[in-house]
Amino acid sequence: MSIRYWEFEDAALKEKLKSPNVKEIAKLFFDNETEAYRFSFLLLETKRRGQLRLKEVPKDVPIATAKRYLDYAVQIGLMKHEDNAYALTDRYTKPLRNISAYIKEWMESKAEEDLQVEFVNARLGRQSKRGGKRQPASAEEAAEPQQAKEAKAVS
């Protein structure tokens, strides 16, 4: 977590509470912009729907990734997981009082947020597969290795 406490001192907090946004919340927990984007995307979806089930997660985010981020939100006290659904909550410890006040203000705000503007440098697409067997795209590609084996056997 990259919590910068000085940003949540009383005077700075009063300024931040005037216009809360999900980017500030995500940046508390993630330094990487892509991770912060994915986390805030799921928080925003949960806020819009009231609760979020894994089968309702948009296709932009893989289910395993969504589960990892949502479970992390449960661990830090930002969400609760009951009846196979994730919902926003405010179960925070005392040292995170000002941060929780900011997050609570964001939960209650009605402002629309554009994540693509707030996270300009985030990679938005799915990651390509790492390692493992390569799946041939067409029948022609599947036949090429077989033809290469036959050519070796002949020579």
Whole-number Å distance between alpha carbons of 136 and 126: 19
Tell me if 85 is assigned to some domain: yes
pLDDT, tens digit (0-9, with 9 covering 90-100), for 110-143:
888 888 888 888 888 877 777 777 666 665 665 6
Tell me if 152 is assigned to some domain: no
Domain with residue 61: its CATH number is 1.10.10
Determine the 3-state secondary structure of 119 from DSSP. coil
Tell me if 76 is assigned to some domain: yes
pLDDT, tens digit (0-9, with 9 covering 90-100), for 12-46:
777 777 888 888 888 888 889 999 999 999 999 99
Whole-number Å distance between alpha carbons of 44 and 58: 12
Tell me if 136 is assigned to some domain: no
Tell me if 150 is assigned to some domain: no
Tell me if 108 is assigned to some domain: yes
pLDDT, tens digit (0-9, with 9 covering 90-100), for 83-119:
999 998 877 554 566 777 788 888 899 888 888 888 8
With b for 16 or more beta-carbon neighbours within 10 A and e for fewer, the 61-77 pattern comes to beeebbeebbebbbebe
- Structural domain range at position 105: 5-125
Number of independent structural domains in the chain: 1
